[in-house]
Amino acid sequence: MPSCQDIREYLPFYADDEIPAAVRPRVEAHLAECLACQREADSYRSLRNELRDFKHSQANESPSPAVWEGAVAGWNRWEQGRRRVAQARFAIVGLSLFLLLFGGAWAWYFAPTDFPLSVVIADYQRIAKEGAHPQLETPDADRAASWLREKTGAEVAPINLSLLGGRLEGASVLSHGRFKVGRLTYRTSAGLLALYVAPRQGEFENAPSYAAEGQSFFAPQTHSPITLLGWSQSGAGMGLAGTAEAKTLGRFALAARKARSPLD
Ligand SMILES: [Zn+2]
């Protein structure tokens, strides 16, 4: 008769119907006789079902803080299970199942917080050639800002560059993976400028800085004729892209950065 400890190693697999066929009869024979292991198996099965139901109820929604709390609670229960058995293998099985069920929340939580520079540069290259064709065509900065707030969840202030002779074309939302980046495009004396708003991605790691009138901007290397000046605002990454030199672009970036949301 195998010991409880031998059997328990297989219970997470058993709960998930992924137990090797060769082992199944031994596990079932033991479970038929051992109440303690039965309870252990039942608790894995109900936890598994709970996590699955939870996942289905959240399907295709972007994870909310509640999802993350649920995921943490699930993880803590796995942790307790792991401690009971105290085997590394158990932890791996638990972690795999957790990642399988909650990959979305996990990806969201550990999402890069770096500004999505390559996405933005590729987008700017495309619109410089083909035109921006905004999803919302409007010269109205308030309207564009509230549209972007609604679409991306980022706190976007109405940004009007008309004092510098710029005209707002409109707003768009780009998707990259699970993330959304808002884009406002302007026709200006310095050519087409695009202001990108990346919610939660306000870090410009290792980017050199550029100072304009006492304000400091990030000026990452773009390896192209495109200049980008970036800053962080309420956790969101803001990046103004254009083909003008940094000094010219800096005047527009300063104006954009001075804009404040009426909610501030
Ligand atoms: Zn047992």
Going from the Cα of 13 to the center of ligand 1, the distance in angstroms, rounded, reads 16
What's the pLDDT at 9? 80
What's the pLDDT at 109? 53
The model's confidence at residue 83, banded by pLDDT at 50, 70 and 90, is low
The model's confidence at residue 155, banded by pLDDT at 50, 70 and 90, is confident
Residues 31-43 have a mean pLDDT of 90
Which protein residues have a CB closer than 5 Å to ligand 1 (ion)? 4, 34, 37
CATH number of 117-258: 3.40.1000
The model's confidence at residue 86, banded by pLDDT at 50, 70 and 90, is very low
What's the pLDDT at 211? 92
- Per-residue pLDDT for 67 more than 60? no
- Per-residue pLDDT for 206 more than 90? no
CB 230 within 8 A of CB 218: yes
Residues 34-53 have a mean pLDDT of 81
Going from the Cα of 21 to the center of ligand 1, the distance in angstroms, rounded, reads 19
Nearest Cα residue to 229 out of 89, 120, 99: 120
Going from the Cα of 36 to the center of ligand 1, the distance in angstroms, rounded, reads 6
Each domain of the chain, given as residue ranges in start order, spans 4-109, 117-258
Length of the chain: 264
